[in-house]
Amino acid sequence: MNTISKVFLVLLVTLWSNQILAENLISSACDHTLYKDLCTQTLQSDPESSAATSFEVLAKVALKHATSTATQITELLKGSSGNKGALKDCNENYQNAIEGLTKSARALASKKYNDVNAWVSAAMSAGDSCDDGFKDVGGGKSPVGTRGTTFTGLCSIVLAITNQLK
C-alpha cells in the first residue's frame, strides 16, 4: 500500500470513528430528555454536533436552536394581525426569552449550570405565558402554533443535557 493510500485510510478511519463517537454522545444525551425525537433530529442535523466531544457542546447546540426558534417567533409576531394586546405581550415574552437564552449561553460557557437552568426555565415560562395570553382573550388561538411547542421542547432538552453536566 502506498503512502497516499495509508494516509487516506487513516483519515477515513479517524473521521468515521469521530462520527460514531458523536452519534453515541447524541444518543446518550437525548435518552435523558422528554423530547427524544426532537433532540436527536436537532442535534444530528447540526454540523457542530457531528464534531461534539462533550455534552456541553450538545447543550450549546440545543441552546442555539432554541434561541433561533424564539427569534423566528418574534419575527412572526411582528407581522401578525389580531389581538394587538396579546400580540404585544407575546412578543415581549419571546424577547425576554431570547435575552434569557443569551444569558444562558454565557453561563454555559462559564460552566455555571444552575444559572443555565434558571435562565432557560424562565425563557420556557415566557413562551408558555404567550400561549396563555391568547387563551385569556376569548379562547383565541396563538399565531405561534407549533413553533411554541418546538421552543418549549428545545428548552427542555437544554435543561436535560445541562442536568447531566452537573
Digit-by-digit pLDDT tens for the chain (166 residues) are: 666 554 443 333 343 334 444 577 888 899 989 999 999 999 999 988 877 888 899 999 999 999 999 999 888 888 777 777 788 888 888 899 999 999 999 999 999 999 999 999 999 998 788 877 777 765 667 788 888 889 999 999 999 999 998 7
In order of 20, 84, 86, 132, 141, the CA distances from 138 in angstroms are 51, 13, 11, 11, 9
Distance CA 162, CA 84 (A): 36
Number of domains in the chain: 1
User: What predicted TM-score, i.e. pTM, was given to this entire model?
Assistant: 0.81
Residue 81 neighbours by CB distance under 10 Å = 7
Can you read off the three cell numbers belonging to residue 133?
395570553
By the 10 Å C-beta count (0-12 exposed, 13-18 middle, 19+ buried), 157 is classed as: buried
Q: The domain that contains 64 carries what CATH number? A: 1.20.140.40
- CA–chain centroid gap for 79, Å, is 24
Range of the domain at 62: 3-165
Q: Which helix (H) or strand (E) holds 31?
A: none
Grid cell 415566557 is found at 126
